[in-house]
Structure 1
Amino acid sequence: MSYDLKSETDVKDYLENLGIEYRFGCYSEKKPEVCHLLGDYLESIKKDFDKAAKVYRSNCDDYGYARSCLKYGNYSFLGKGRASDNGDPVKAYSYYEKGCGLNDPDACLHSGLLLVSKSVPKELKRDVPKAFEFLKKSCEMNNGNACFYLSGMHISGILKDEYNVPKVKEALEQKEKSSPGKAASLPATAYVVERDMQKAFEFAYKACELRNMYACANLSQMYAKGDGIAKDEKKAEKYKKLAMEMQDEIKKQQQLTFQQGLNPT
């Protein structure tokens, strides 16, 4: 059957039949990829977030479909499709972790970001080394955002939780007294992730290749200053220009999306 997508009636019929097709493929044929499409249909077309959440959760738990684990994790984190509007980061993490185990790069990214956060719930506990491994796995699966975060972790370094601000200041002052005139720095043992500009450059380079605008901007600065790589003004300018081009692309896309949402007069 052919549909005239300029006809409101035909569009409604098409969408209803699409829903029937997805339900059959999911519930009768038990195809995980179709169940995920059903979840997307309920979410975007029907705006029925409760039912969409149930489909995503079931598809993750029953069929081990990674993208559905990610989606239900997102729903749990935001409190979407729940009786309460309150998010549940602990439940969200459990589904992100499951999705990561099933090799979804975005699920690995979210697992890592939750565990590295200083505002992580007590029930979950902050775990930077584990977060680093999640992000590394995501980056290896070509998630540009994960590569960017790994670069940032190496740019600043991440101190162990017991190294609070007063203790850091005290340790640096003691180093300055013992070696006057020399730049004081904390021992490597003070860090969970040590500051390493060469590794920061490597992750930023991959993130930029994967079209992460912020990584390209950082790469420009690294080349300009000679941080983690030999100083190169031409490459600094090249990556600055690339970052600006990406920024322009994002602005144009946002403007286009906004214009598409306007009602015709």
Structure 2
Amino acid sequence: MKKILLLIFVVVGLFGDDNDYTPEKIKDLKYFCSRDFMSSCVNLGYAYDNGLGGLERDIFKAKDLYTKACDGDNATACYNLAILYSKGEGVRQDKFKAKELYEKACDKNEYDACNNLGILYERGEGVKQGFCTANDLFLKACSGGNAVACVNLGNNFLVNNRCEKYDIQKAKEHYGKACDLGSQKGCDNYKDLNTLGYLRKK
């Protein structure tokens, strides 16, 4: 079974569906963002980020809007902005800045951010490598309902030198939770462990 740590590189808006971003809605978002309603700034940034509601994609406008909303303590905006810094879109790639933004969002229980911050600690990117810190972040995100983090935590119970001791039962527990949360990867890994019966330490 191939074990790969999973990053979440999908920016998010606060509407339920991209089809909700109509030209009329964009007009409303611009109005309310100009009056410092930060959720409107996040959604407007998302629209520019993805070219929705009749807007041309403009990553620089998206970055400015995410920055404004993040400065206004909107966790989703900080998470979206961290992705731009992680990927180097609209800004110079800066893992340390991404780490700061993921941390700010995670502190406000944006669980996608906690997972990605865990990856940075796992890899030592923009921060001193720390497997135990990474696992704590994966656990927080998994407990908050983030299926990807549950898979990542399950992976780490099957690898030596990842802070936690090798424990196939705990790996299965986290893969099972990921599966319950809708992760096909979690379901597949859980099935693999049941089929194999055990895995050798790596």
1:142 equivalenced with 2:113 (yes/no): no
Secondary structure, in 3 states, of the residue corresponding to 2:93?
A: coil
Q: Which residue is equivalent to 1:52?
A: 62
Q: Which residue is equivalent to 1:130?
A: 133
1:203 equivalenced with 2:174 (yes/no): yes
2:28 counterpart letter in structure 1: E
CA separation of 1:31 and 1:219: change in aligned 2, threshold 3 A: same
Greater radius of gyration (CA): 1
Unaligned runs of 5+ in 1: 1-13, 160-190, 229-265
1:192 equivalenced with 2:160 (yes/no): no
Q: Which has the higher helix share?
A: 1
Whole-angstrom CA distance in 2 between matches of 1:204 and 1:42: 36
Whole-angstrom CA distance in 1 between matches of 2:71 and 2:194: 47
Whole-angstrom CA distance in 2 between matches of 1:217 and 1:19: 41
1:94 equivalenced with 2:97 (yes/no): no
Whole-angstrom CA distance in 1 between matches of 2:134 and 2:65: 28
- Give the CA deviation at 1:31: 1.8
Whole-angstrom CA distance in 2 between matches of 1:48 and 1:95: 21
Q: Which residue is equivalent to 1:38?
A: 44
Secondary structure, in 3 states, of the residue corresponding to 1:155?
A: coil
- Give the CA deviation at 1:57: 1.3
Task: State the number of aligned residues.
Answer: 174
Deviations 1:65-102 (A, max 9, x none): 111111000011111112xxx41111011101111001
1:26 equivalenced with 2:33 (yes/no): yes
Unaligned runs of 5+ in 2: 1-21
1:44 counterpart letter in structure 2: N
Instruction: Tell me the TM-score normalised to structure 2 length.
Output: 0.80
- Give the CA deviation at 1:61: 1.5
2:87 counterpart letter in structure 1: L
Secondary structure, in 3 states, of the residue corresponding to 2:57?
A: coil
Indicate if the aligned counterparts of 1:198 and 1:227 stay in contact, CA closer than 8 A. no
Indicate if the aligned counterparts of 1:35 and 1:59 stay in contact, CA closer than 8 A. yes
1:143 counterpart letter in structure 2: N
1:222 equivalenced with 2:193 (yes/no): yes
- Give the CA deviation at 1:21: 1.4
> Between the two proteins, what is the percent identity of the paired residues?
27
1:27 counterpart letter in structure 2: S
2:143 counterpart letter in structure 1: E
CA separation of 1:102 and 1:218: change in aligned 2, threshold 3 A: same
Secondary structure, in 3 states, of the residue corresponding to 1:193?
A: coil
- Give the CA deviation at 1:226: 3.1
Q: Which residue is equivalent to 1:156?
A: 159
Deviations 1:200-220 (A, max 9, x none): 111011011112222212211
Secondary structure, in 3 states, of the residue corresponding to 2:60?
A: helix
Whole-angstrom CA distance in 2 between matches of 1:42 and 1:222: 43
